[in-house]
A and B are shown apart, each in its own frame.
Chain A
Amino acid sequence: MLHTWPPFSETRAEEVQPIEAAFTVAPDILAIEGDFAYGEYLSSECTTCHQATGANDGIPGIIGWETEDFVIAMHAYREKHRENPVMQMITGRLADDEIAALASYFKSLGE
């Protein structure tokens, strides 16, 4: 499946690196149902830098993304297919279900 990047117009294209076309996430991982409340708690680690309003100020907004785009982006950082040492480090200790939980929570913020 082809994913265009960035997923939403709120995020300026030049601020987000494209994911390598070859990068894929297994369907069973994409299918994980996110635990919303856990995502809300985990999101507080993200909102130190990424504004909960979705504003872009030197750091891209991450709210309202389609769940699948969010999950793929996080896995791409975790597997070091995308650069940025902060993001590689933060995602480096997120389990698959935690990424799913975050995706579910941040999607809701954009609704």
Chain B
Amino acid sequence: MALNRRSFLGASAAGLSVLAAPTVQAAGHGKPRVVVIGGGAGGATAARYIAKDSKGEVDVTLVEPTRTYYTCFFSNLYLGGFKSISDIGHTYGGLAARGVNVVHDWATGVDRAAKTVTLAGGATLNYDKLILSPGIDFVDGAVEGWDITAQNKMPHAYKAGSQSELLKAQLAAMPEGGTFMMVAPPNPYRCPPGPYERVSMVAHYLKNNNPTAKIIVADPKPKFSKMALFQEGWANHYEGMIDWIGEDFGGGNVSVDPGAMTVTIDGEVTKADVCNVIPAMKAGRIAEIAGVTDGNWAPVNAADMSTKADPDVYVLGDASQQGDMPKSGFSANSQAKVCANAVRGALTGSRVFPAKFSNTCWSLIDTNDGVKVGATYEATDEKIAKVDGFISATGETSDVRKATYEESEGWYTGITNDMFS
């Protein structure tokens, strides 16, 4: 049955029990088992909500190799000097205290017929439902001359942590009047405004520490998220510092030479002091290994985030191909809650409510100059479809921009508690 709000509300008057999924008897063992792979915005939220709401009725195991998760969100603010690295690091003790079995290991294999996950350490986990939220990996050969072995010379800093620290150290070591270059990614990629917020934060740092330095962005796209807002902000705060080369001017015709530290844009070679390469992206590898991808991403059903390939395997966040939602932490968190409600319902017979999704992405352009874009979404048979949205306006007062920035601080505390507390 396709569920929309209207049919749901009709059912609501008659009593919601009609919507509850039948209890699935977990065959041959005690509690139903959920394995979550990836403890980021999607996975940590899903594990937390299933554990919290099932009150011990479901066995939840979270597989995540890192002991500290550094959020990509606000990692640009770290580059700009607004946050310290420890401000954006979060550990998994809160989830463990909620009853989630946190296993610090890599998932290396998924056997969907046997319903098992194998870990790098050798262990095998059984599941009734498997949730994958592995984030992104980079497409091989996406930027000519760059591969993952070059990430120390030309960092991506698109998975936060040591890469963010490296990029920041390189920024600080730039010679006076030096050149910071960015190779921006093609669509679709994680955090549409992310590269441009990063340009803003790098410019903020340079304005205060190295004001004659330049920023050059080579972009394969003709336009980007919040473009008018960023361009207005760059003109207001960083006049003459940023040169954005879009698709029309050859921004997509790029190769790099990490040894020589050069970037070639449409045949023209430029020497870079720092070069931030953000390659094209695809679903985290384990999604492909699990056999639930089609091309670069994993197609999912909008109502519950189950994959098109397997009703017992769910994919959340950046790795999923779901329709209209941008790949963001907010989106992953929102999808995780819909998925958690559906998975718990399927395993325990608890009430299942209709999917509602939302997203808001805040970006900081300069001190107290915050902007935002957001939308609500619903599940249709075909995809997650946009319902309504808004975006900050150009020319807003500084009071509005400051309030928007303060709101983003509140959101950061809120979402990280919603993932890890």
Query: Which chain A residues have a beta carbon within 8 Å of chain B's beta carbons?
Result: 35, 37-38, 40-42, 44-45, 47-53, 55-59, 85-86, 88-90, 92-93, 95, 97
Contact = CB atoms under 8 A, between A and B. Distances in A.
Contacts of B411: 48-49, 58-59
Contacts of A56: 410
17 contacts: A35-B16, A37-B351, A45-B334, A48-B358, A48-B411, A49-B410, A49-B411, A50-B414, A51-B414, A52-B417, A58-B413, A86-B390, A89-B376, A90-B376, A93-B5, A95-B9, A97-B12
B3 interface: no
Nearest to B400: A83
A55 B375 CA distance: 25
Contacts, number: 94
Interface in B333-362: 333-334, 337, 341, 351, 353, 356, 358, 360
Contacts of A40: 53
B389 interface: yes
B133 interface: no
A79 to B, nearest CB: 15
A86 B372 contact: yes
Contact of A51 (B337, B374, B413): B413
For the residues of B in contact with A, the DSSP-based class is: helix
Given A35-B12, A97-B9, A90 B410 contact: no
A48 B330 contact: yes
Interface string B189-224: 000000000000000000000000000000000000
B388 A93 contact: yes
Nearest to A88: B390
Contacts of B415: 48-49
Interface string B403-414: 000111111011
A56 B415 CA distance: 14
A64 B152 CA distance: 50
A47 B410 CA distance: 11
Contacts of A53: 417
B49 interface: yes
Max chain B Cβ within 10 angstroms of own Cβ: one of A37, A41, A93: A41
A89 B12 contact: no
Given A52-B421, A89-B358, 14 more contacts: A38-B12, A42-B356, A45-B358, A47-B417, A48-B330, A50-B414, A52-B418, A56-B410, A58-B407, A58-B409, A85-B372, A89-B390, A93-B5, A93-B378
Nearest to A94: B356
B interface, size bucket: 35 or more
A60 to B, nearest CB: 8
Nearest to B354: A41
A88 B421 CA distance: 28
Contacts of A44: 49, 337, 418
B13 to A, nearest CB: 9
A41 B353 CA distance: 7
Nearest to B6: A95
B139 interface: no
B356 A45 contact: yes
Contacts of B417: 47, 51-53
